[in-house]
Each structure stands twice: as C-alpha cells, then as structure tokens.
Structure 1
C-alpha cells in the first residue's frame, strides 16, 4: 500500500529528518518527495510505500500528528488511492 504525506508549517531545521525518521523506524520507504520553502513557509509532499511496515496508515497518521503538534506543523497522511480520488478532475 502507498500513502501520501503532506507537511506544511513554518520552516525550521530538522523537519525532513524527523518525518523521515518516523518512516525509517516503521519500515516505510520514501519513494518520492518534493519540498519547497515559500518565504518562511515549508511545504512537502512525500509518496511512501508501506508494504513492509507493521503499522497501518491510521497509526502512521497518529504518529505524524503527534510530531506535527510537537513542531507546530500540519502533517496529513492519506492512502494514495484516496488522495488520487480526491484530486481527480
């Protein structure tokens, strides 16, 4: 299963490292990532592969939500098929 992780918030050191660390700890492979900083706003979208992970998308979402609260960021996790359905024109 694939999932999409989006991260938005004030730019600071360590955002990518902390998000990537949660993925690594849970055997989640980052297959694609794009990020940019617009003035002082950080934005990132990651496509991750969860096939080898022992946690569900909902559990990953909870972990990322906790990280987001700790860092003052908004982090969303969504299954890729749901994300694609929501953004289809």
Structure 2
C-alpha cells in the first residue's frame, strides 16, 4: 500500500529553496507525487505530496531538513497524509 506524506515549506522568498528541499527528498529516494508553490508578497509557500515507503523515516527526514531550515530561515514540516487530513478536517 502506498503511503504518502505532506511536506510544507514556508519562509521569506529567496533563491534555492526548491532546489535545497527537493535535494533532501532525492537523497532519501523520496518521489514527489504533487507539488504546489506560490509567493505571497515576499513569502514563499510550498506544499508537496511525497511517496514514502518507510514511515519510520519521517523523523530522520525532518532532521535532514534542519540545516536547510537554518540556512534559509524556513519552517519545513512533514507528516503522514492521513494525520495531515485529520488535523485539517473542518
């Protein structure tokens, strides 16, 4: 069964955000299934749906995002799709 996770990225717009975030995913053999990004004035926002085969890797993946967060001043979060949907149900 395919497991999916939601990766969200928010921060001040600057060169290299998509490159650095997707490099972490690529290095971990994560496939991006869907991606949406926009810039609201000076703020960059991106949400990705990724294919994740081993859900125990989420914490490790979040740790690998830390240097990107610190370098670019971003907030990057990752959670399983079903958890994300449960949290955002109206």
Instruction: Say whether the fold is shared (TM-score over 0.5).
Output: yes
Partner of 1:22: 24
Kindly report the root-mean-square deviation, in angstroms, between the aligned alpha carbons of the 2 structures: 1.6
Structure 2 unpaired stretches of 5+: none
2: CA distance, partners of 1:57 / 1:32: 18
Give the TM-score normalised by structure 2: 0.90
Give the structure-1-normalised TM-score.
0.91
29-38 or 55-64: bigger deviation: 55-64
Q: Which blocks of at least 5 consecutive residues in structure 1 are unaligned?
A: none
Q: Which residue of 1 aligns with 2:77?
A: 76
Q: Which stretches of structure 1, 4 residues or more, deviate above 6 A after TM superposition?
A: none
Task: Give the aligned partner of residue 5 of structure 1.
Answer: 7
